[in-house]
Amino acid sequence: MKTEKQTRPSLYKTVWRWHFYAGLLIAPFLIILAVTGSIYLYKPEIENFLYKDLYEVTPQDERISPTTQIEEVKKHYPDAVVTTFRPGESESRSSEVGIMNHDKSLTVFSDPYTGNVIGELNNEDRIMDKIEEFHGELMAGTVGDRIVELVACWAVILVITGFYLWMPKKKFTVSGVVIPRFKKGKKILVRDLHAVPGFWIAAGMLFLIMTGLPWSGFWGSHFQNVATQTGVGYPPSIYFGSAPTSTIKTKEIADVPWAAENLEIPSSEVEGFIPIPIDEVVTVAEREGIHPSYTIYMPSDPTGVYTLSAYPPKAQDELTMHVDQYTGAVLTDYRFDNYGFIGKVVALGVTLHKGTQFGWFNQLMSLIICWGIIFVATSGYYLWLIRKKKHELSAPKAPSARKVKGFLILLIILGIIFPLVGLSIIVVWLIDWLIIQRIPRLKQFFHA
Amino acid sequence: MRKRFSYSIAALFVIVLTACSNEQDVVTLYKQENPINLDIYIPETFTDNQQDTIKVKLTQAGEPVVDADYVHFEIWNQEGTVHYEMEQAKKEKNGLYSIRKDFNEDGLYFVQVHASNGGSIIMPQKQFVVGKLTENDVEFLDSHAKPQSGGHEGHH
């Protein structure tokens, strides 16, 4: 049996070793996430600046109907299929018609007072969407998404191990703990410039990780799916589950003939329900008092429904509504208040994460955390470089985590909560066991 | 130890994955609407110089709507020569509401029902043919035909 005196330092060294390796591997990704994140925080301001000419219109007395606006757009894009319509949230805001034109997804901006087409934007060219893609999946699809998720999960381990390493050994002192020691030499200063700001941003960093994770592709989608299915998450169809279908039976719907097919249309094919014009959908939206920033998604097939959704800056204003395309009946009307408890927490987390919930103050707080992450990651690297010996990784030597019970339990718990972390730990152990332990040079290099 | 650890992780994976692929009706766990359902009955044939009856049957949650807040009919033809303005329907039994009108001109017609009950409002339109379609009607139907190239973008 080990005595208390022997286990404490070995626990410290093991934690340090894990913090070292985890940091070394994920810090570059954390820097990417922090840089892209700090840009994305200002998405509304950046887009308002970039697309000013497309967004702004001069208000007049009379607006023309959405149908007329869409007709006008169709004149410019005769082959396009209209997929969305966004009326615009203010008097001086253009309306947007989303179209698929020769396999390109375009947003066409229309002046709701004149019907004039102001301009178009290829959705693939939206710079902020690229930033978001970088932030969420490193521009590498599913693989990138999983990497980001893994980085986020490992960042939790970094924060926890970092917190343990930061904790004063004996008694609490101010210098070296909450403020850096500037006059104790370079090594101590660099250590403090890593550990002290690390402590200051730890809570914020954990917050950003925990509010971002529900949007990750693996952990997040399972988490959200379970929440939805148990009645505590988002209502179905917002992220999981399908939208309702029309209340009108398929055989009751009027068949739409294909163009230039034949001129002899049998009246049995003609008879039936026809879709309500989009103007009526806008009327429904106004009657139901939904946030004016909503977008209408067109039904994608004859049994489909109109989907209205809005994700305004504040989570409390969110909504997803389905309107029957033939009867105009509201089939579902989900507002923030109708979310389950977890759904509310996640939705608030998202708007806080994106910095929109509390306006400029929210953006500023998140920006400080992002810059803090960049600073701490960089100072961590620098700390390693000044400690590193030539031709050596200079990782802290420590007993295997499997021999340090407290730490092993922490890893197992995290590995279960975040299966990707569990999987990556297994992979690391397999590499260690199958390769590193068997090749003396590697063993020495990694201090394994 | 390592073996048991990896086994339990694998087991956990299986549990999580199977739990999530179980589709069930979760709609009932959240706020539900109570939309009006309807059927519109158009006569098989129309008679000249005599009124014909168009009926609508309203149901809500499977029950007939016997006392709707309002049921109005509006009827017009494609040619623009007939237009019966919005008019209150006659209440009949078992959630049926009706209107009687003259249909002396052939062609493509539209009937729109405006109805409301228990918070649900509907405004469905049904097209139907009296006698034969006119040339104008065929042209109209053709101009509303689907474009040659399809392709839709899904939501989310």
Instruction: Answer yes or no: is B19 within a domain.
Output: no
Which is higher by pLDDT, A265 or A349?
Answer: A349
B15 at the A interface (CB within 8 A)?
no
Is B26 within a domain? no
Instruction: Check CB contact under 8 Å for B145 and A265.
Output: no
CATH number of B107's domain:
2.60.40.1220
Are B29 and A231 in contact (CB < 8 Å)?
yes
User: In this predicted model, what pLDDT tens digit does every residue of A135-187 receive, in sequence order?
Assistant: 999 988 999 999 999 999 999 999 999 999 998 887 778 888 888 888 888 88
Task: Tell me, yes or no, whether B151 lies in a domain.
Answer: no
Q: Is the pLDDT of residue B155 over 50?
A: no
**Is B33 in contact with A333 (CB distance < 8 Å)?**
yes
At A428 the pLDDT is: 86
Determine, yes or no, domain membership for B51: yes
Q: Does A331 touch chain B (CB under 8 A)?
A: yes
Nearest to A419 by CA among B95, B36, B5: B5
Q: How far is it, in rounded angstroms, from Cα A109 to Cα A115?
A: 10
Least CB-CB distance to A334: which of B30, B133, B147? B30
Among the listed ranges A46-50, A261-265, A314-318, B24-28, which one has the minimum average pLDDT value? A261-265
Q: How far apart are CA B108 and CA B127, in angstroms?
A: 7
| pTM of this structure | 0.86
Which pLDDT belongs to residue A182? Answer: 87
Query: Is residue B11, in this structure, part of any structural domain at all?
Result: no
pLDDT of A240: 82
C-alpha closest to that of A205 among A10, A340, A37: A37
- pLDDT bucket at A293, cuts 50 / 70 / 90: very high
- Cα–Cα distance between A34 and B133 in angstroms, integer? 65
Residue of A299, A318, A295 whose CA lies nearest to A308:
A295
pLDDT greater than 70 at residue A400:
yes
List CB contacts (< 8 A) between B155 and chain A. 243, 297, 300, 307, 309
Percent of chain B with pLDDT over 90: 60
Mean pLDDT of A235-259: 81
What is the band of A43 on the pLDDT scale with cuts at 50, 70, 90?
very high
Predicted local distance difference test score (pLDDT) of residue A4:
44
Dump the DSSP string for chain B: -HHHHHHHHHHHHHHHHHHHH-----GGGS----PEEEEEEPPSS--TTSEEEEEEEEEETTEE-SS-SEEEEEEEETTSS-EEEEEEPEE-STTEEEEEEE--S-EEEEEEEEEEETTEEE--EEEEEESS--HHHHHHHHHTSBPSS---PPP-
Domain with B133 in it: 36-143
Residue B43 lies in a domain: yes
Query: Cβ contacts of residue B133 below 8 Å, gap of 6+?
Result: A265, A267, A270, B106, B107, B108, B141
Q: Is residue B124 part of a domain?
A: yes
**CB count in 10 Å sphere of residue A331:** 23
Instruction: Check residue A260 and give its pLDDT.
Output: 44
Q: Which residues, including other chains, have CB under 8 Å from residue B22's CB and lie 6 or more apart?
A: A229
Q: How many C-beta atoms surround the C-beta of residue A191 within 10 A?
A: 21
Kindly report the average pLDDT of chain A as a whole number. 90
| Total number of domains constituting chain B | 1
Mean of the pLDDT values across residues B66-83? 94
What pLDDT score was predicted for residue B132?
Answer: 87
Domain-embedded: residue B135: yes
- Please return the burial class of A114, using the count of CB atoms within 10 Å of its CB with bins 0-12, 13-18 and 19+: middle
Q: Which residue of A has its CA nearest to B113?
A: A327
> Could you read off the pLDDT of B10-69 as tens digits, one per residue?
555 555 555 544 445 788 899 999 999 999 999 988 888 889 999 999 999 999 999 999
